[in-house]
Structure 1
């Protein structure tokens, strides 16, 4: 990736963001926006383009998968992502606030219309500026998701190929660029050898 990469969020920073979003005017929507980034690894464009049909079951309930359609992804690379419990809970709460048509955007402005990718990027920029998180951007949640998934994939019995597919990357090399290294983990790993 050219230039500086967005910072990976710590667990404390994630908690701080979620606490802060609980006090915002559109707290439920804002929480879903943030969790789509940090707990599903979605890009700004994907957050802007996700519709209710991509998260609802055939019976109209929030499901346990996000089915990103090609039109919502980079390079028309649709994918399915198992839904994090915290994200699912936030989506259930948002959905309960007003039933929307299946093709209505999950993330919408005060006027009830969908946001653009640039609006999502600006929203994250303002959020991190307010909280004083230097070097964080709309991509921070995505990098956090990929880094955390890579660190825990072995516990789930998976491989980095699974992380690659969840992130929607075409190559494992791209996924590797998202993963932040950890010197403490490296020390523990070397001592296991």
Structure 2
């Protein structure tokens, strides 16, 4: 992102964000999924807004263990194919969202306020009405403001995800290329901009040579 980089979230702050959804929001089950799609899947606000239930469903109609953004499920023509394994916390909250708010594969995963309280006399009222990307950005801004977290934005979750994956990918036997694919970056240089060097890591690697 241009200008000053968004602050990174630690685990305590992520828990505070999830509590905020439960204490301050009308639809906490929906908004917790929004938070976790950002911080545990690295999705941008515009990508979260575009998600359909099909992106997280398996062939049998159940909840998959990945977010599938390939082929016809790709979120934009200029985007890259990617498959993001679902973090256990995110998957559990998606299952809860499906339980509370029924819907089909073509329905948005994150529904608008109006769609969350549809007109009972109009069964089509909920169909294809997603929460707008700008509304998601505003939700993050309100959340961080009320939690007293300065320097955080809707990009903080994505930056936290990419940074944490980059820090730990070698422990899992992967490489920076895997981080690039999870982030959906077209250029490895973009991925590298998320990664800070570590003098301690450099000292440790010399002992391994």
TM-score (norm 1): 0.91
Quote the Cα distance in structure 1 between the aligned partners of 2:173 and 2:5: 29
Number of residue pairs the alignment of both structures matches:
188
- Matching residue of 1:22: 22
Q: Is contact 1:45-1:73 (8 Å) kept?
A: no
Q: What SS does the corresponding residue of 2:193 show, helix, strand or coil?
A: helix
1:78 aligns with 2:94: no
Larger Cα-atom Rg: 2
Q: What SS does the corresponding residue of 1:111 show, helix, strand or coil?
A: helix
- Matching residue of 2:124: none
Question: 1:187 deviation in Å?
Answer: 4.2
1:130 aligns with 2:151: no
Q: Is contact 2:21-2:28 (8 Å) kept?
A: yes
Q: Is contact 1:28-1:94 (8 Å) kept?
A: yes
**Root mean square deviation of aligned Cα:** 1.5
Question: 1:74 deviation in Å?
Answer: 7.4
Question: 1:9 deviation in Å?
Answer: 0.9
What are the within-5 Å matches in structure 2 for residues 177-188 of structure 1? Answer: 177-179=193-195, 181=196, 186-188=198-200
Question: 1:105 deviation in Å?
Answer: 0.7
What are the within-5 Å matches in structure 2 for residues 108-147 of structure 1? Answer: 108-112=111-115, 113-147=129-163
